[in-house]
């Protein structure tokens, strides 16, 4: 790692280097990546990237260390002890980690620190799951008894996105280690520093050398990792197109997959809802984190009889969300993650206008000296388009909300489900019967009722349709990194 600016907000965590190979810092053999602060446009530093040879070395080290240390055979409480120490170290370094994430992807410092603390909580949760995951013996159907045991898959390839590298990294590392595996984690290109720092925290907790490596780079690194014959499972969070490509490559080898992919989540407001509360939740659900969330409520369906009133409340709520530098405590929304991503968001907004849409709020870059050098874009509401429009069908991954109306429940459900995605949805209504009917009818893995973006590490998370395969979080989130084996013992032998 090379830090260029003396005042760069990138405090090193125990002298982070380019890579962690088998738990040890190493220089990358590949071409370096520039790391740019999206709030200022300043070059923060460069990180060396992993060559295919280094990726192979990381996978081999994981496999060898599993054998040498008997990690999977250690009593659960011993693995749990390491995870707990990792949680303590992450919490100790929370300010450092928050500054790293804020500098790399533009999330506000308040959100970044909350995510650092959440990463620590994820490790503590899986320490507890590791110790409390024994299952009872099923009843036999003959003169024998059976039991099921869970074996690790071996070396896990984990690939995390740039929008929430702390929580996404923790959600893969902690359950995979708890399940008895080794992990090779690939950092997203724009958030390499914070991902390396997270890995360093886990290593310093006393994890056996070799059980965790962090590699950096772009597509070449990712391909080398997911195609390595020593990989027992691939866990990927990111775009749907990339997930599909990984799935095609894994098919020939029948490598199991956990894919948490894109979303185009419907947020539904019925006339009998608490409209003020719903407006605040809708605004936060799409504009919080600058809309760079897989569960962002980007398609809004409001019952026609209250649409005008709700739009006024929504604009008021959006206007109250301060857009500014992520280091400013008053900022609720920061810049987009990169200038290239801002260009992409702007192109989607233009396509909506060209298709006949109307900008109801925002729609352009903010003016002012504080925004001039950063990748800022205003929270944007587009009306006048139906659910078949490009901006209502494709994941924008930015602060852009499609405002649509509906008359009756049947048409609403048809429109809400008319999407290639099925990750999440929100419902606002005062009728629990309606909430139940609509929630059961919606094709999505997570449904929020009279709330939005409430997340728990204890609740399984994943999507329907092109939003992915498998589930993360909860006990199932650890089981996903294991293979079930059935054992039969005869009572009549001898």
For residues 393 and 299, what is the distance between their CA atoms, to the nearest angstrom? Answer: 9
Rg (CA), the chain: 23
Greatest Cα-to-Cα distance within the chain, rounded to the nearest angstrom: 86
Is 135 noted as a catalytic residue in this protein?
no
SS3 of 377-402: the string is: CCCEEEECCCCCCHHHHCCCCCCEEE
177 Cβ neighbours under 8 A, 6+ residues apart: 79, 82, 83, 126, 183, 202, 207, 211, 212
Q: List 190's β-bridge partners, or say none.
A: none
Cite the beta strand spans of 261-392 per DSSP E: 266-269, 299-303, 358-361, 380-383
For residues 458 and 465, what is the distance between their CA atoms, to the nearest angstrom? Answer: 23
Is 151 noted as a catalytic residue in this protein?
no
Strands 43-49, 144-152: parallel, antiparallel or unpaired by DSSP? unpaired
**Which is the catalytic residue, given 104, 201, 204, 294?**
294
**Which is the catalytic residue, given 89, 189, 443, 472?**
472
What is the DSSP secondary-structure string of 59-120? HHHHHHHHHHHTGGGS-HHHHHHHHHHHHHHHHHTHHHHHHHHHHHH---HHHHHHHHHHHH
Contact 394, 239 (CB under 8 A): no
**Which is the catalytic residue, given 260, 346, 395, 443?**
260
Is 364 noted as a catalytic residue in this protein?
no
- Cα 456 to chain centroid, rounded: 13
**Which is the catalytic residue, given 172, 264, 453, 473?**
172
Is 294 noted as a catalytic residue in this protein?
yes
Q: What are the residue numbers of the active site?
A: 172, 260, 294, 472
């Amino acid at each position: 790692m090379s830090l260029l600016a003396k005042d760069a907000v990138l405090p090193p965590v125990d002298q982070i280097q380019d890579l962690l190979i088998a738990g040890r810092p190493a220089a990358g053999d590949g071409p370096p990546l520039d790391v740019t602060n999206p709030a200022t446009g300043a070059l923060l530093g460069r990180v060396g990237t992993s060559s295919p040879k280094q990726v192979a070395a990381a996978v081999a080290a994981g496999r060898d260390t599993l054998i040498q240390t008997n990690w999977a055979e250690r009593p659960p409480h011993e693995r749990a002890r390491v995870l707990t120490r990792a949680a303590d170290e992450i919490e100790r370094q929370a300010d450092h980690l928050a500054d790293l994430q804020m500098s790399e992807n533009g999330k506000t410092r308040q959100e970044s620190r909350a995510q650092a603390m959440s990463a620590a909580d994820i490790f503590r949760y899986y320490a507890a799951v590791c110790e409390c995951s024994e299952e009872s013996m099923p009843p036999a159907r003959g003169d024998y008894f059976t039991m099921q045991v869970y074996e690790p898959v071996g070396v896990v390839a984990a690939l995390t996105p740039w929008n929430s590298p702390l929580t996404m990294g923790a959600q893969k590392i902690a359950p995979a280690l708890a399940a008895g595996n080794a992990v090779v984690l690939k950092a997203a290109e724009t958030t390499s520093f914070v991902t390396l720092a997270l890995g360093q925290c886990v290593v310093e907790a006393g994890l056996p050398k070799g059980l965790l490596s962090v590699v950096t780079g772009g597509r070449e690194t990712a391909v080398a990792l997911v195609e390595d014959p020593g990989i027992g499972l691939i866990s990927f969070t990111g775009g749907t197109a990339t997930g599909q490509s990984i799935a095609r490559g894994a098919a020939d080898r029948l490598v199991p997959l956990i894919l948490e992919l894109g979303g185009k989540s419907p947020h539904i407001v019925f006339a009998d809802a608490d409209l003020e509360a719903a407006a605040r939740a809708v605004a936060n659900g799409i504009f919080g984190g600058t809309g760079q969330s897989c569960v962002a409520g980007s398609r809004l369906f409001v019952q026609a009889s209250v649409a005008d009133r709700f739009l006024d409340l929504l604009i008021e709520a959006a206007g109250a969300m301060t857009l500014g530098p992520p280091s400013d405590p008053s900022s609720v929304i920061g810049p987009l993650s990169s200038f290239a991503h801002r260009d992409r968001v702007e192109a989607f907004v233009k396509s909506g206008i060209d298709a006949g849409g109307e900008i109801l709020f925002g729609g352009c870059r903010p003016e002012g000296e504080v925004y001039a050098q950063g990748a800022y874009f205003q929270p944007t509401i587009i009306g006048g388009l139906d659910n078949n429009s490009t901006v209502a069908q494709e994941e924008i991954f930015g602060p852009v909300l499609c405002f649509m109306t509906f008359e009756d429940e049947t048409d609403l459900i048809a429109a809400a489900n008319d999407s290639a995605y099925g990750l999440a949805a929100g419902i606002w209504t005062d009728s629990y019967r309606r909430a139940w009917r609509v929630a059961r009818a919606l094709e999505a893995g997570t449904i929020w009722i009279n709330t939005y973006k409430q997340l728990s590490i204890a609740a399984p998370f994943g999507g329907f349709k092109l939003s992915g395969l498998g589930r993360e979080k909860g006990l199932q989130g650890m089981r996903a990194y294991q293979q079930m084996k059935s054992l039969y013992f005869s009572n009549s032998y001898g």
